[in-house]
A = this chain, B = another copy of it.
């Protein structure tokens, strides 16, 4: 029996593992140690504390019944001993003990039957000059968050630069610009926001809504130096100087695995602690999980890194069960995520098209736009979904989406995300049984339409282009090489035809058969309607009439509008 369990780290995974174990074995002795005084907080809520949505930092440390999760809580409510301000110095695996230094400075050895390493991750630091100046922050802990909020409350911050356009960068940009009315610039090294998480095309939609709220983006740009005397005064990038009296670095995190390394536990090449599907490290008496471990990516079958509070919570529970002798497994993850950008959201799971190709897969992606509810139902939102598939096996590799934060987009992502590890094909998406009634879905729901479009694409019936490719054609519209065929009703198409008679023609789809001789046959035809449905039918009719050099703007004018592309 595991009578003595020590847990190092008391934020998400550590606390969960300790409490679950204690519930299963009420007589056991569990000690939770953390070098910080602030323990058991919801780190993912930090941006909403900064924004003022959450007024007090203690709310991030409270249960749903408003009890702060402090030492007393763990002792009285959970029967778990907590030692804050206590650092784990080293692990003696042979003698099964942990050397600790307590608040008082005193050191001692704590014996364990089983040990849990929940040391989490640290914010990455850019190796550039000036990172140590005043008002340069990372978003790594609740203490940092409190410091950022203090600086904001001081009223002296007028311009801020956020380094990094991933989750945390975007959430922090929204937080400080929306509530604090600070001129906010996001500098991102890649040529898109949320790199690796959504396609460039979807990223542009989110960027547009954030730009409309006043945030400035500097993409494909690196920060070279943080300038200023004592405090930050500006940021020098490849392209020039951005004035700033606050800098928030959000350039990713790295596993905090020093202790594990020194204990001789197996680490990955990137420094993650290696665990099996019971969350055991290379020492079976030592468990680990959360932001410091690598787990299996269930789409690629390779090691993956998914530092998210939700992972930590679920893995913590699995560890707690295993500590108590239950055979619990955590098979891996597909990387589901969601991020709010003002009134909209991006979400996804699995591989993006860019990542799939990098994995060496002959992958394709298809995008659709459709209402999230029956089109005849008064309340509804246009949402955008993108499916990433393996051309050969037709396996679904990933799904991403953009839509209103209160739309049905995230529900669609989740219904596909949770299937990804079952190795489903596009045909299963076509038949996906989403709950249907007009206030909640369409009879042919967008998620089914996505599967249908993918099937039509893989079978060669649908030849799509996305908004970014449209833009390439549009930019060469005067070259005479391409021609735009507007398949919408005349009332929509004619005004544009009148403006651009040389390369744009309105032939509503229902007039196509009798006006087939008006279609140019010597040019690449770009087919356009509202959402790509009528232009798909046009593509099929043209094909049947022998006109094969056509490209259907999937997601249609709705997709262009969402990307901020005007014709």
Contacts and interface: CB of A to CB of B under 8 A. Distances in A.
Interface of A: 12, 16, 23-24, 26-27, 42, 44-45, 48, 53-54, 59-60, 62-67, 72-73, 76-79, 167, 171, 308-310, 312-314, 317-318, 326, 328-331, 333-334, 336-340, 345, 347-349, 370-371, 374-378, 405-406, 408, 410-411, 413-419, 422, 427, 430-445, 448, 452, 459, 461, 488-489, 509-511, 513, 529-531, 533-534, 537, 540-541, 544
Given A76-B511, A340-B439, A438-B48, A433 B417 contact: yes
Given A374-B45, A431-B314, A23 B530 contact: no
A54 B438 CA distance: 11
A376 B45 contact: yes
A557 to B, nearest CB: 11
Contacts of A540: 23, 26
A448 B375 CA distance: 32
A337 B328 CA distance: 32
B433 A377 contact: no
Contacts of A66: 489
16 contacts: A44-B374, A44-B437, A48-B439, A54-B378, A64-B531, A67-B510, A73-B510, A308-B436, A310-B444, A331-B431, A336-B433, A336-B434, A338-B436, A339-B437, A414-B414, A419-B422
A431 B332 CA distance: 9
A76 B167 CA distance: 48
Contacts of A171: 437
A27 B65 CA distance: 66
A216 B428 CA distance: 42
A310 B377 contact: no
Nearest to A61: B376
Contacts of A45: 374, 376-377, 438
A441 B413 CA distance: 13
Contact of A418 (B313, B328, B433, B459): B433
Task: Across the A-B interface, give the 10 residue pairs with the lowest CB-CB distance, nearest first.
Answer: A411-B411, A310-B436, A64-B375, A76-B510, A338-B435, A26-B544, A309-B443, A336-B435, A414-B415, A313-B444
